[in-house]
Structure 1
Amino acid sequence: MFVSIIVPNYNHAPYLAERIDSILAQTHQQFELILLDDCSTDDSRAVLERYRHHPRVNQVVFNTENSGTTFKQWAKGIELAQYEWIWLAESDDWCEPTLLETLIAGITPATCIAFCMSVAIKGNDILYVNQSKFLHQTLRGLDFVRERMLRITAISNASQAIFRKEVYYKIDKSFTTYKFSGDYLFWMLVAQHGEVYIAGKYLNYFRKHDKDVTSPSLKNGQAYREYLRIMRTVQDHAIISDEERVRLLILKFNELLWDNRVEELYRKEISALYHADLGNQLFSTRTYQLMGKRSYAKVLLHRLFSTKQ
């Protein structure tokens, strides 16, 4: 089984060599490597050029203008890929040599996604890990999304997963318009086209650092804004009902109310968006039960002051 491995890079020069070397060291060697750079301003180009003539490297592509989002780079790489399976190996992560071998071993003709467990690292600290109760597990795609993606994101990092290329041409491409959460939508849509194989082994390392996109997206609340759009999209694709969408938005809004990472100005702006989307559904016994007394009081105060204005 051949795999197309795509490394979409932007300003990750300090991590690129470790990323690429961990790919080239895979025990499963039937792959092509496609290296992309989104107009980096650091030394990324020089690092990537060192690998241009490696026998496993098929293409090295440098953008002349920044695309604005890594998810457009995903799409570009997928279009360039020539093999049936795709691995989006993010440029600041690294992995164990047996990642591909392990995932491929669990694939059947019905599999659309295969992924392993991931460890989030910052410096020498382990921040968090994905967890699985089983060493091996296969779920129907819709069941996987409902059980493992709606509240707890099982695929928290693209580098931990591979997917079947043909499925990409069957899904909504709106994920490329997101700045932060396009991957969350992407995996939920892909999962609808088959089964998901889950390997319980910890084989991927997800690097957190000052140049990643997560911190600024939490500070300005972008993740909460995009969640509104994503829930509408997954409802439109009949993955969840309108009732389930409302429940999830209420729970997400509750997170926003207590998320100290979001600056207060942005919190107020985003709160208004959730109020507008949910309307009177926010002022119900169900919302009180989901949020609890303290959060519900905040919701009432927001309505009170916004009405006075």
Structure 2
Amino acid sequence: MYNVATEKKENSLTAPVIAAALNGGLLPVDSLNSPLEVLLNVWQGARPGYTYQLCFDGVLIGIKKAILPSQMPGDPLKLDIPPELLKEGRHSVTYAVENPINMVVEISAETALVVDLTPPGAPLLAPIIFPAQTQNGLTSEELQTMGNVLSGTIASYNGMQEGDVVRTYWNDLPGPMAVVSKDDVGLRRTMVDFARSFLELIGDIKAPVYYTVTDLAGNLSMASEAVDVKLQLTHVTPLPTPTLKEATGTTLDPANASSGATVVIDATANLQAG
């Protein structure tokens, strides 16, 4: 393989296009196991017999391909990057064109590629952080005070990036998902919300809750540490026994209630309008 790094000079050859690449040149992991298609066009001034060849990280790869008599400037051309070259890290992709008459070689502008094979979160994903009300079992009344949504906090993890997808599991049942935003990265946390309708599907049991993270490249993390949460959504808190304001202990003297008695209900009853 011939290294052409020293042959680069100013030219009008446009950079190749790699359709499989995401923003920033990131390659999805599912595109790494087969030849990666590199697209370019017949350049201005090309003639039948002129050749083009892949250049990967400054090294010419594969065979030279010749422009056919039927191909005109602007027509599409294709090269392939062998999958064995797609190692983790940043790479440069260009192509070399040659005039076979004077043997002049030109190198195109480059396209950057990024191969990311590292799962997010290694070596550890911390458990979801839930409100203190979940520590002794979450009741229906407590959930109602939260607006019928139980919010969990997922702390920052190694490799946290905008676009990561967080998938939650409650007793292995898939729960809500969250996509990490730019603000989440800055705040070093992201939030997941469990609605009452989902929690009621779980039932009144104590069960593990955990999550996984999939990054933009498609790398899947290990499962996070689990946290056990007990739900008590069908449990009814007994109402406090009412008392009589005019009574002494449990005894009411009729003389103290000539105009009627006042029933007092303790604030712990948490009565609401309706």
Check whether TM > 0.5.
no
Which has more strand, going by share of residues?
2
User: Which structure shows the higher helix fraction?
Assistant: 1
Provide TM-score, normalisation by structure 1: 0.17
